[in-house]
Amino acid sequence: MLTVREALKRSPFAGAQLMAGTKGLDRQIRWVHILEISTMENLIYGGEMILATGVGFNLDTAHSVRYMEKLIQQNAACLCIEIGPYFHTVPEELRELAERSGFPLILLPPSIRFVDITQDLHSLIINRHHRTLRELEGISREFHRLTLTANGTLNVLKLLHKSPGTQLVYRPLNGTPVCYPPLTADQQAQLLLSTDACFKEQEAAPSIGTEAIPQPHFVSGSQIVLQTIGVLNQKWAYLALVCHREPVEFDYVLLDSAALSIAQELLRTRYMEERKLFSENLWVDELLNNRLADEKQVKALLGPSLNRHAELHIRVCLLEIENLNDETLYLQETGAETIRYHLSLLLRSIFEKHGFRLFLTMKNNRLAAIAVDKNGTGRTKARFQSALDSLLSQRADDKLQDLSLAVGVGKDCSSLDQVHVSHREAVQALALHSCFRRPALFYEDLGVFQLLALNDAGTLQQFVRSYLGAVLDYDGAKGSDLLTTLRVYLDHDGSKQLAAQKLFIVRQSLYYRLEKLKELLGEDFMAPETRLAISVALRAHQLLHPEAPAQKPSPKSDAML
């Protein structure tokens, strides 16, 4: 990066005079900008060398001081003023402000042309930028190559240290931190305290977008730059650069490239671990189907961290990829397998974050997960729902964004010998997915559907015909939708006002429809026992015909009644 000190040594600045701001000679110049107006807030972005003659504004003492104050606030690199007809001498107040702020103030004789300065410095900046890009490309390729070797992350840190020559900290959120170059135990502990505090501060700050350059943190005379290492929308680690100087753009880009290479290695490692876990967790399928009788053996498989709780809290979750074999996804057999492992990796990562340990098995397009509460609190549903919401909202990944997912969750059980029951409940909840039209269903939310699903279709059809046959026949003959009116009316406890609002009709239209329902169902259809039977029949009809969308009633339909 070009500094003011270097620029003043260039030939176009022969005869230039530094009047004040010697401490700021190492300010970085990103570009050269000719600026003749005082309202520059939206015209510069920081790091510009400003050239001015004073032709466009009054450079008397007060105006010139305000002008420089604005440049300092906008983080300009320096100010170069041409001595001539518009600016004759430097006011003492201006010189003192520049000196106090470490802001270089440079006077140019009339013989120095602005075009020579801009052409020379812009060419230099662009050429250096191209050289930097070539260097970054080479280092990035080397980062990628190193991640394919043993101790890939440590080798990346060694190469990253070689370029900026600063202290580095690699801090996995679950794992052993690495400092390079190595420090003493006390030094490492102190540095980790500082970087962890900076990480918490950065996480608590409002998001400023993924493309924004991270802001350095000032700690004990050093500047710490943090780069989060994230995979599958989850934060897995952070990489910290500890500088005893002001970080330059090259440092940020290099840090980002190293973090990306480490993220790729983490993803490969997790992917291999996921495949290994699936091969080792064959007992999960046995447990789900109640084929494991030795509970002590299963507890040993769960591990000591989960067995320390006096009572376990376990749920079974089934996740089905409904369109895995859809030709529009253009998946080969290996692609489908990659999708399954990718999804399981995301699922495990999210649920671990929400306090659950997952044991997964996979068959065709269905993932079955035994989720054990690591906290042992017993209040699992809210956290489970939050984890599922995160899963369904974080499928922006290229491999997962086009998948159609359905989720069924069994009830919480407190012992391993009841896992197969939770599994059976999850199967039932998943089977009712199309009926409820919700991406995730908990068995305890099914209500009367828990009982209805136990009956065969013939029995349910007879029950529906017994209580709703007249309405169904009438709707079929007239093209009306009295069935929806009946369902909405009962669902709102017979409130005519609420039912009319939900049906988007005036109350007079509702009264007319209710009279027709009385004619078809009988005057006593709102009697407790009859009303209960009709409500159950409506749910049974919904179960038998989940594909039939509920029609949005229209007042026009009343003319056909």
pLDDT in tens, 225-270: 889 888 766 788 999 999 888 787 788 888 999 999 998 888 888 7
Mean pLDDT of the chain: 83
- Give percent above pLDDT 90 in the chain: 23
What's the pLDDT at 552?
46
How much of the chain is helix, strand and coil, in % rounded to 5?
50, 15, 30
pLDDT digits (tens, 9 = 90+) for 201-229: 887 776 555 455 677 888 888 889 889 88
pLDDT band at 408; cut points 50, 70, 90: very high
- Which residue in 78, 12, 18, 5 sits closest to 47, CA to CA? 78
Task: Provide mean pLDDT across the span 24-33.
Answer: 92
Q: Where are the alpha helices (DSSP H) in 178-248?
A: 185-204
pLDDT > 80? residue 550:
no
Give 14-75 as a 3 state SS string: CCCEEEECHHHCCCEECEEEECCCCCCCCCCCCCEEEEECCCCCCCCHHHHHHHHHHHHHCC
pLDDT > 60? residue 549:
no
Task: Provide mean pLDDT across the span 511-528.
Answer: 89
- Give percent above pLDDT 70 in the chain: 86
pLDDT > 80? residue 557:
no
Task: Provide mean pLDDT across the span 70-83.
Answer: 92
DSSP class per residue in 337-403? HHHHHHHHHHHHHHHHHTTEEEEEEEETTEEEEEEEESS--S--HHHHHHHHHHHHH-TTSTTTTT-
User: In sequence order, what are the beta bridge partners of 81?
Assistant: 52, 107
pLDDT digits (tens, 9 = 90+) for 305-356: 666 666 788 999 999 887 766 655 545 544 667 777 778 888 888 888 888 9
Tracing tokens 């026992």 back to the chain, one arrives at: 529
DSSP class per residue in 284-321? HHHHHTT----HHHHHHHH-HHHHTSSS--EEEEEEEE
Q: Which residue has the higher pLDDT, 403 or 185?
A: 185
Q: Which residue has the higher pLDDT, 554 or 216?
A: 216
Q: Distances from the Cα of 450 to the Cαs of 121, 424, 521, 540, in angstroms?
A: 76, 11, 26, 11
pLDDT > 50? residue 548:
yes
What's the pLDDT at 551?
45
Long-range contacts of residues 533-537, Cβ cutoff 8 Å, at least 24 apart: 533/467, 534/467, 534/468, 534/486, 534/490, 535/490, 536/448, 536/452, 536/463, 537/463, 537/464, 537/466, 537/467, 537/468
What's the pLDDT at 7?
95
What's the pLDDT at 213?
63
C-alpha neighbours within 13 Å on the C-beta side of residue 162: 11
Distance CA 303, CA 308 (A): 9
Q: Which residue has the higher pLDDT, 203 or 399?
A: 203
Distance CA 237, CA 330 (A): 34
What's the pLDDT at 479?
87
| φ, ψ at 230 (rounded to 5°) | -120, 145
pLDDT band at 365; cut points 50, 70, 90: confident
Mean pLDDT lowest among 435-439, 464-468, 487-491: 435-439
